[in-house]
Amino acid sequence: MTTPNSGDTVTIDYVLKRTDGEEVGNTQQAGPQDITIGSGQIFPQIEEALTGMAVGEEQSVSIDCANAFGPRQDALVIDIPRENLPPEPAPQPGMAMQAQAQDGSPMTLYIVEVGDQTIKADGNHPLAGEDLTFDITLRDIKQAA
């Protein structure tokens, strides 16, 4: 039985679910994902599970919110005056926009509410505060040279 090692590239399919079983992501649309083991492209818990799997095997990996996208932070929900936004496109709930954090690093804000004078935007990752389960299937292993 061949299993992947650090530096190998694996091809996986996954289904991502919240604790309540609601599916919130999968590889059906984008296709299988290639990941190099040890490169930090995916959660360490998934890399660890993959290193013990053979092609064709399936496994469920649970990741608590602290080790996934972290807890929700109320301080990342902010009101932005509409005058500070470009006129087009018109802001809509669910729309993502790029902003700069106080340290100058880029961050994504998600519009959650649109008012006449302000919009409410959330800088939390959409899955922050969620415990997650990845149902993964190992499709292929390309061993490092």
Cis peptide bond prior to 89, omega within 30° of 0:
yes
Are residues 20 and 63 both part of a single domain? yes
**Per-residue model confidence as pLDDT tens digits over 81-101:** 988 888 888 889 999 998 888
Are residues 108 and 134 both part of a single domain? no
Task: Give residue 27's pLDDT band: very low, low, confident or very high (50, 70, 90).
Answer: very high
Taking 80 as the threshold, does the pLDDT of residue 1 lie above it? no
Q: Which of 60-74, 93-107, 126-140 has the lowest mean pLDDT?
A: 93-107
Are residues 33 and 83 both part of a single domain? no
Position 63 in a domain: yes
Are residues 24 and 62 both part of a single domain? yes
Cβ–Cβ under 8 Å, residues 36 and 107: no
Average pLDDT value over all residues in the chain: 92
Give the pLDDT score at 99: 85
Give the pLDDT score at 123: 93
Are residues 81 and 116 both part of a single domain? yes
Are residues 58 and 84 both part of a single domain? no
Are residues 22 and 58 both part of a single domain? yes
Give the pLDDT score at 102: 81
Give the pLDDT score at 26: 94
Are residues 21 and 53 both part of a single domain? yes
Query: How many domains does the chain contain in total?
Result: 2
What is the token pair recorded at 42?
């995916």
Position 82 in a domain: yes
Domain enclosing residue 27, as ranges = 9-69+128-142
Taking 90 as the threshold, does the pLDDT of residue 128 lie above it? yes
Are residues 100 and 62 both part of a single domain? no
Phi-psi map region of 83: left, alpha, beta (phi>0 left; psi -120 to 50 alpha): alpha
Cβ–Cβ under 8 Å, residues 136 and 12: yes
Average pLDDT of the residues in 24-49 = 93
The CA–CA distances, whole Å, from 127 to 28, 56, 70, 77, 123 equal 19, 28, 8, 14, 11
| CATH number of the domain residue 100 falls in | 2.40.10.330
